[in-house]
Homo-oligomer: A and B are copies of this chain.
């Protein structure tokens, strides 16, 4: 690929520069005085670090600052032309965005794409879409982040034994994309990046301990502890979709039986909706099936809202099962917030009500007393926002 702008390694040579860039990303333009106070840096030291960042064109200085009663200062901000590519690869879609240094999405494009086709065609689509969004918002590509729907070794930048991604096992995603784009790349599990997105720019802003539950085609969970994604010793932390609820439950895509995901999530809802439609237990779903030739989770949600008893029952039963699992996690981890996201979270309040009811009834009062259980705020953008965040974190890290 000929990227519209060649990628590069940000030259960040000290921990202070790294803190400075992160602060400008998180809080926007600031006066030198405010920067010095926030970073607790003496004036001379700040001036030195800033001038190095100006020399490497990572920050710019200009524009009058809000006066603090004394002489005028000037606002320091991240260079306007910094660009980050953020990709959210799902089971059946890819979404690629370009952001500025503050992780604001400047342009994005998504399309249907089956992850099971394997790394070559899927990463090919990611690279093509990246080229297109970079054309819409050109600048200097400084880093990229990508979320994948399976277990990922963050350190090695590759998926590890991902159940729904044949051909991807230990494929060097990071190194291949870094080679193509000429900039640092981070690779993470899709749910981890969604959790990061909500933590930095969504409903969980400023919270250090939260769990993000994604209900999409499958079910997974991102754990943020102390402000950082917790990945576990093998990188599989948060994989709650395959918690077994019943030794004699329905078959799961992973090859086991009775997994949470086999009861609830997009694939299970579509399967159950088809059964309801064909058996005549839901005339509404039967009509939709005739009309569209297929059924998905959203059709179940629509039928439930329109008063179809069987469809409403599917949402209730699924929400109840999900709620039982979340209740255990809440007792176990005592998080500060539970965020429900992913495509199926569009079922909205009926789903939320079931989960809340299970958690509030089953978890310790002390753990639920101040516990918000809320829907994702960023929705479809949670993944790319978090991936961009991960990319900036990597790009703004000191080089040594």
User: A residues bordering B, Cβ < 8 Å?
Assistant: 151, 160-161, 209, 221, 223, 225, 230-240, 242-244, 247, 325, 327-329, 331-336, 361-367, 369-370
Q: Which chain B positions have C-beta within 8 A of A237?
A: 332-334
Q: Which chain B positions have C-beta within 8 A of A336?
A: 233
- On whether the beta carbons of A233 and B160 are closer than 8 Å, the reply is no
Question: For the complex, what is the distance from the CA of A335 to the CA of B160, rounded to whole Å?
Answer: 17
Q: Which chain B positions have C-beta within 8 A of A325?
A: 328
- On whether the beta carbons of A364 and B236 are closer than 8 Å, the reply is yes
A243 in complex: contacting residue of B160, B234, B238, B331, CB < 8 Å: B331
- On whether the beta carbons of B234 and A369 are closer than 8 Å, the reply is yes
Q: Which chain B positions have C-beta within 8 A of A370?
A: 233-234
- On whether the beta carbons of A230 and B225 are closer than 8 Å, the reply is yes
Query: Given A243-B327, A244-B327, A362-B244, does the pair A367, B332 have CB atoms closer than 8 Å?
Result: no
Query: Given A225-B230, A367-B232, does the pair A332, B242 have CB atoms closer than 8 Å?
Result: no
Copies of the protein in its oligomer: 2
Q: Which chain B positions have C-beta within 8 A of A328?
A: 240, 243, 325, 328-329
Q: Which chain B positions have C-beta within 8 A of A329?
A: 328, 332
Determine which residue in A151, A247, A363, A366 has the highest number of CB atoms from chain B within 10 A of its CB, and name it: A366
- By Cβ-Cβ distance, the 3 closest A-B pairs, closest first, are A232-B334, A237-B334, A244-B362
Query: Given A233-B335, A332-B243, A334-B235, does the pair A151, B366 have CB atoms closer than 8 Å?
Result: yes
Determine which residue in A161, A236, A325, A367 has the highest number of CB atoms from chain B within 10 A of its CB, and name it: A236
Q: List 26 A-B contacts (CB under 8 A).
A: A151-B366, A161-B365, A223-B332, A232-B335, A232-B367, A233-B334, A233-B336, A233-B370, A234-B366, A236-B334, A236-B367, A237-B332, A237-B334, A238-B334, A239-B334, A239-B364, A243-B328, A243-B331, A243-B332, A244-B327, A244-B362, A247-B361, A325-B328, A328-B329, A332-B332, A332-B333
- On whether the beta carbons of B331 and A239 are closer than 8 Å, the reply is yes
Q: Which chain B positions have C-beta within 8 A of A233?
A: 209, 334-336, 370
Chain B proximity of A301: nearest CB distance (Å): 26
A210 nearest in chain B by CB position: B233
Q: Which chain B positions have C-beta within 8 A of A240?
A: 328, 331-332
Question: For the complex, what is the distance from the CA of A325 to the CA of B244, rounded to whole Å?
Answer: 10
Chain B proximity of A329: nearest CB distance (Å): 6
A208 nearest in chain B by CB position: B233
Question: For the complex, what is the distance from the CA of A328 to the CA of B219, rounded to whole Å?
Answer: 14
Question: For the complex, what is the distance from the CA of A334 to the CA of B151, rounded to whole Å?
Answer: 12
- On whether the beta carbons of A366 and B161 are closer than 8 Å, the reply is yes
Q: Which chain B positions have C-beta within 8 A of A361?
A: 244, 247
Chain B proximity of A65: nearest CB distance (Å): 34
- On whether the beta carbons of B160 and A362 are closer than 8 Å, the reply is no
A231 nearest in chain B by CB position: B334
Question: What 7 additional pairs, Cβ within 8 angstroms, besides A237-B332, A239-B366, A328-B328?
Answer: A209-B232, A223-B332, A231-B334, A234-B367, A238-B334, A244-B361, A333-B333
Q: Which chain B positions have C-beta within 8 A of A366?
A: 151, 160-161, 234-236, 239
Question: For the complex, what is the distance from the CA of A134 to the CA of B231, rounded to whole Å?
Answer: 44
